[in-house]
Chain A
């Protein structure tokens, strides 16, 4: 149980194009999903928190107009990297948190999406 998928697993795009990454919770409903960015040999940095049906909350320093997040349903969140540039190349990981009403609520992670912008 508690499986989270991401699609695509790997994407290469040209500079200036937009890329959409999907994150799905396959066997549970996630009222909250998180998007992280991970540079090589580094830890995960939280980019934003998205709650179903409401606007995402972005961490300080993350451009909300560049990284568009939509949490349209209890099982799907999308991250769109708009007008991608080479510096946006990174490993993007999502996580989903089922609502259990008991702490600590555990996040389940997707397998990640490797983005390379040429």
Chain B
């Protein structure tokens, strides 16, 4: 079964420092992967998605993620953290025989220290 895991339920970085949020997937078929961000008491916003067109995916707000098949990873990075980046981040994988369901990872809470 396809699934995603996120190492680190909570990550804390200083403002201006590199952000690295980890996501590993398990899939027997080429996966379709997503990163979503959730601000308190709000829905989810799509940051970026992997479609197999390119291994390095650029998203909104300066985030990017690199798909590494050999490591079964899709880690999210941002060169310089901003206070407004503090939120919950979810890695997700598209599953189902028709790729019609999204399974979310447990999430990583990002704190940015001024």
Contact = CB atoms under 8 A, between A and B. Distances in A.
A104 B99 contact: yes
A6 B44 CA distance: 13
Contact of B104 (A4, A44, A110): A44
Interface in B26-46: 32, 34, 36, 41-46
Contact of A4 (B41, B43, B99, B106): B43
Interface residues of B, number: 23
Given A104-B32, A105-B99, A112 B42 contact: yes
A111 B106 contact: no
B43 A49 contact: no
A95 B51 CA distance: 20
**Chain A contact surface mostly:** strand
B46 A44 contact: no
Nearest to A45: B104
B102 A111 contact: no
A114 B41 CA distance: 8
A54 interface: no
Interface string A81-118: 00000000001010101000001111111111010000
A60 interface: no
A93 B100 contact: no
B49 interface: yes
Nearest to A5: B43
Given A42-B107, A49-B100, A49-B101, A103 B43 contact: no
B25 interface: no
B41 A43 contact: no
A112 B94 CA distance: 21
B90 interface: yes
Interface of B: 32, 34, 36, 41-46, 49, 51, 90, 94, 99-107, 109
Interface of A: 4, 6, 32, 34, 41-44, 46, 49, 91, 93, 95, 97, 103-112, 114
14 contacts: A4-B43, A32-B100, A34-B101, A34-B102, A43-B105, A44-B104, A46-B103, A93-B43, A103-B32, A103-B51, A104-B49, A105-B94, A106-B49, A107-B102
